[in-house]
Structure 1
């Protein structure tokens, strides 16, 4: 049987490694970052959590954007990172590096256009306190070719709507500056939103929550195949307050987002922090994770009503698995669940980081 090392060597010898597709490298389903001892790595995982590949990274990762066809990812440093690496997953080679312009930094996320030519990166213009989206052309070696307004402050996450080149931006609302770390500089005026933008920078729609929830930072999103967006929030207000941490948004519908909240005792244990979000494989439910609370909560994806929860220490990464969910934790555990009982798939020495990214 051909070993993986031999397979990759064959790819390199054939000269097609730089154009390898995801099928050529074992058809991984997810990307995720992890710390192994003192080393940081990028992993490709199957839908069952098995390792397909593992590559070195120069520092702690946050999330990565997978090219739609080629076995190529843009791996982002955690904010306020100023660089990202384009990695060939067939051999681990760094094909290019993206560097944010002066007085900008990345937020750890990015997304490709539908044809895979352009990479879009949410960025903080921290001298001017505004959010921008950088545009990079893969055909020109990831040369920066433009930028446009994100529609708000602190654009953290960004998703492309299915079959289009329209994008939903999670403008978290928090104005920060590298000199003050992660301290919010604009709490008196903070207001998060969801912005619908085009590849050409056209702003189609801005959706805000009720003013009483203006300190709820919209951070991460999940996308159902029919275009329904789920979003997870992190509360920046009084820690004794316990606002909703999960929402459902239908872009372009004009319908206000639906917000969900668990029963009081369980909700308090989330500590105002939802780290990741995912729809179930059948699309009927949506889950949020809290590494601070050691818990995953699951809600109805149409009504936002609370369904059930599971306990999982230091859990954050979430994505689909069959009809249910897959989750990764800093403890090295990977679990699958479609009910309140989680099934351990893998216990690893890797401390899994924040997100599981779909390829």
Structure 2
């Protein structure tokens, strides 16, 4: 694997990165991983209307992807606890490189590019040390790993580049895992999730934790608004009789804002304490969280008030489209109330996330 990575990395350094942009692939709006009817896995590019514009094979089950800001390049991450991160030229369909997590690490399923696309940041679990790390890869030098720094907590899952282009926001889920134990959660009694802001060199700029009584509220997935508003989707690891709010909003310098759906939080219990994904609409006025275990998605306004509910089996992926919020389901559907060409049904099982490709 190291030899293959060096060889392909040399090609990248020599200028083999795709020179074309997303427009030459039909301007896909989204990326999504799925299991095809044949039982194998692929990364799909979808139009705003939900049509499949391309599909590229993956070596195993995918989770999320990072889209290069200007080139038709994506990095597809394995589902946690996975070790592959596949760099794909979405025009040719060729795998340009396969990143390998360092010894004693596995990827978290998410990554983020710098504003210029020169650096890739990967969330990683240092499982023998019981702490989270952020890996830094240089796209200009053959995807060479050039740095790493602490994520600010345990079990980093999602991470995003902040609108200032100079910092990252990281959802440290607080859950300790180890490959020898599969997907078992090893520290539920003592977990301490947090939301951390880091400089691109790893300095901890700001950090926030849920209240002590909600220390089992794992911080998982992130969405950003251009003005810096962060939306955070959470997953409750405690007693289902007392599920906290699953959507949290935050601005730097302020306290966490927990968006309680109703006074007794019955809706959170209907979602089985599990929010699978989060998105902020292109208008910035609506925020969606999905609950695949409960077959339910909720849409809030930015004050934290629920304004809509979607009932759909295994609904999990969500992202902002040009015509409104779009959702994917494990049954193959792509839906969106404001997009007139939707819904669309594909012979696949969509995985957890729908990733919006930023316009260029």
Q: TM-score, normalised by structure 1?
A: 0.91
- The separation in 2 between residues aligned to 1:127 and 1:171, in whole angstroms, is 17
Shift of 1:73: 0.6
Shift of 1:345: 2.3
- The separation in 1 between residues aligned to 2:145 and 2:283, in whole angstroms, is 38
Bigger shift: 150-159 or 40-49? 40-49
In the alignment, which residue of structure 2 is the partner of 1:29? 29
Alignment of 1:223-242 (within 5 A): 223-242=224-243
Corresponding residue SS for 1:18: coil
Shift of 1:240: 2.3
Corresponding residue SS for 1:240: helix
In the alignment, which residue of structure 2 is the partner of 1:139? 140
In the alignment, which residue of structure 1 is the partner of 2:326? 326
- The separation in 2 between residues aligned to 1:289 and 1:104, in whole angstroms, is 29
The question of whether the paired residues in 2 share the 8 Å contact of 1:337 and 1:343 is answered with no
Structure 2: segments with no counterpart, 5+ residues:
1-14
Corresponding residue SS for 2:117: coil
- The separation in 2 between residues aligned to 1:111 and 1:76, in whole angstroms, is 11
The question of whether the paired residues in 2 share the 8 Å contact of 1:282 and 1:323 is answered with no
In the alignment, which residue of structure 1 is the partner of 2:257? 258
Corresponding residue SS for 2:255: coil
The question of whether the paired residues in 1 share the 8 Å contact of 2:321 and 2:356 is answered with no
Shift of 1:146: 1.0
- The separation in 2 between residues aligned to 1:65 and 1:17, in whole angstroms, is 15
- The separation in 2 between residues aligned to 1:280 and 1:119, in whole angstroms, is 25
- The separation in 2 between residues aligned to 1:68 and 1:328, in whole angstroms, is 23
- The separation in 2 between residues aligned to 1:46 and 1:165, in whole angstroms, is 30
The question of whether the paired residues in 1 share the 8 Å contact of 2:49 and 2:341 is answered with no
In the alignment, which residue of structure 2 is the partner of 1:346? 344
Shift of 1:323: 5.3
Q: Deviations for 1:216-256, whole angstroms, at most 9, x for unmatched residues? A: 000001111211110000001112221110010112xx211
Corresponding residue SS for 1:353: strand
Bigger shift: 237-246 or 171-180? 237-246
Q: Deviations for 1:305-337, whole angstroms, at most 9, x for unmatched residues? A: 222211011100001134531000011111112
Structure 1: segments with no counterpart, 5+ residues:
1-14
Are 1:213 and 2:186 matched, yes or no?
no
The question of whether the paired residues in 2 share the 8 Å contact of 1:114 and 1:163 is answered with no
In the alignment, which residue of structure 1 is the partner of 2:8? none
Gap change, CA 1:112 and 1:17, over 3 Å in 2 = closer
In the alignment, which residue of structure 1 is the partner of 2:161? 160
Task: Give the number of the structure with larger relative contact order, counting CA–CA contacts within 8 Å between residues 6 or more apart.
Answer: 2
In the alignment, which residue of structure 2 is the partner of 1:357? 355
In the alignment, which residue of structure 1 is the partner of 2:95? 94
Alignment of 1:262-277 (within 5 A): 262-263=261-262, 264-277=265-278
Shift of 1:162: 1.5
In the alignment, which residue of structure 2 is the partner of 1:130? 131
Bigger shift: 161-170 or 258-267? 258-267
In the alignment, which residue of structure 2 is the partner of 1:9? none
The question of whether the paired residues in 2 share the 8 Å contact of 1:333 and 1:344 is answered with no
- The separation in 2 between residues aligned to 1:276 and 1:223, in whole angstroms, is 13
Q: TM-score, normalised by structure 2?
A: 0.91
The question of whether the paired residues in 1 share the 8 Å contact of 2:248 and 2:256 is answered with yes
- The separation in 1 between residues aligned to 2:321 and 2:23, in whole angstroms, is 19
Corresponding residue SS for 2:18: helix
- The separation in 2 between residues aligned to 1:343 and 1:231, in whole angstroms, is 29
Gap change, CA 1:28 and 1:305, over 3 Å in 2 = same
Corresponding residue SS for 2:249: strand
- The separation in 1 between residues aligned to 2:108 and 2:17, in whole angstroms, is 29
Structure 1 vs Structure 2 CA RMSD: 1.7
